[in-house]
Structure 1
């Protein structure tokens, strides 16, 4: 078997694994915590829950499957086939998980339920979105609007959820709607953290009189590249070379030790970066 074919099989397996795991985790959060408490989530799953609460017919899993049909037609026409099929698998896996998985959690306090439900659902959605697909729903619509009209994905999802919650005020108890808004906030925070936790890096700016020596050590000992930025001291008027490098989180202390062992008078600035794409780091997802 060729190396390219092995890579393709591995890639497909990995994406399906991420979608399957994300589906199971999200379904557990919904069935075990959110639905028993009567909360409404954001996105298309929130629409399905609202319909389920109002009508009492079918199940959230069946409503999710039905409402996704026109959404997937949109995805088939305007988004890539690979993204469509991965998302189709994710949607089916999520619907089946919703239908079959129901692990009971005895959580009486609503605020604890918000924290637990939001953390579980956010983690599940983040795992799924590390793949080249999605679990269906508004992810497909938001990607379409972003590609077609340049509307930011986060802006669209925020506006859609606000409309959903405003509508919920007329159909559900006010306390439940407010709890649901808090749940959506916790879910989004955990989702963002899950998406960035495997890609967060440290960007370092180093100002030193021994920048050539420091840059060589960063390259030789850590295997990381470095770039010289040219600046001028505002007080001294001296021309300076500033080292810019990006390292993994666990390499930060080694950089600090190297820098200050060479030049104790160095000036070092560290910033978190949440999306580093390129050789030696992550690759951009191509839908």
Structure 2
């Protein structure tokens, strides 16, 4: 039995918008965020960004309340605000993510057994960044500053990254007044790493390649791409700068796994073709990622 790869990919993309898949992503992301906060950050005196950072500050100042309780209490007014300013679907998913994170923080008792603060910084940054990145690939979040950032973007047009940067500046300013300078500086490094890992998680399966092929057989190449690669192609009119001759250019969008197959197709059809590959494109539309609406 042969597998129709394009049809399988279409089914997987449709499944990415289903409730079970979103809940799975939120659960996994919440567990990683909770591990970073409860098992690494809190025992080593580190400060996370966002509402989780405020929860850690609350725990350091008033340890009678666990970090999970602080996280839950701080998120309640934010969820209420998001209910009216953002979509209810986004808030409901985020409510689940916030509740799951709070429960995991309460239940986890493991403490990462490292004494070197830089090892704690690396472990916390990777776990926190991966958790946030996995959660944000769903239709919700783990709560906190993400909801405020989306609300501010919808109302004021401020980019999410800029708002979260300003929010974290306020959190670390409070940290300077509460914690030792050394702990705050370690925390800045940890959050920088967490941001890098978050971006890596968000772009891991979204990065696409753009191929430009200058060929004397554009029609044959387009047919091969359509039927053998399962991708679309666009023929662009072009003219050689040196020769002045008309020479069509074929534009193709594809993912990383299809690059080698395209290269083989191109030089099988036209050994004299000129192939250009570009990376780092985020493509939204038929055959690729759907538009994410909150």
Give me the TM-score of the superposition, normalised by structure 1: 0.92
Specify which of 82, 85, 89 is matched with residue 78 of structure 1. Answer: 85
Kindly indicate whether residue 56 of structure 2 is the aligned counterpart of residue 49 of structure 1: yes
Kindly indicate whether residue 170 of structure 2 is the aligned counterpart of residue 166 of structure 1: no
1:275-286 alignment to 2 at 5 Å? 275-286=282-293
1:99-110 alignment to 2 at 5 Å? 99-110=106-117
1:1-287 alignment to 2 at 5 Å? 11-287=18-294
Q: CA RMSD in A?
A: 1.9
Residue 49 of structure 1, CA deviation = 0.9
Structure 1 stretches lacking a partner, 5+ long: 1-6
Deviations 1:27-52 (A, max 9, x none): 11221111111110111111111222
Q: Determine if contact 1:31/1:98 at 8 Å carries over to the other structure.
A: yes
Deviations 1:14-65 (A, max 9, x none): 1111111111111112211111111101111111112221233311111111
Measured in 1, the distance between the counterparts of 2:46 and 2:88 equals 34
Tell me the matched-pair count.
Answer: 281
Deviations 1:98-140 (A, max 9, x none): 1111323212222122111111111111111111111110111
Structure 2 stretches lacking a partner, 5+ long: 1-13
Residue 274 of structure 1, CA deviation = 4.8
Give me the TM-score of the superposition, normalised by structure 2: 0.90
- Counterpart for residue 9 of structure 2: none
- Counterpart for residue 7 of structure 2: none
Q: Determine if contact 1:88/1:136 at 8 Å carries over to the other structure.
A: yes
Residue 229 of structure 1, CA deviation = 2.2
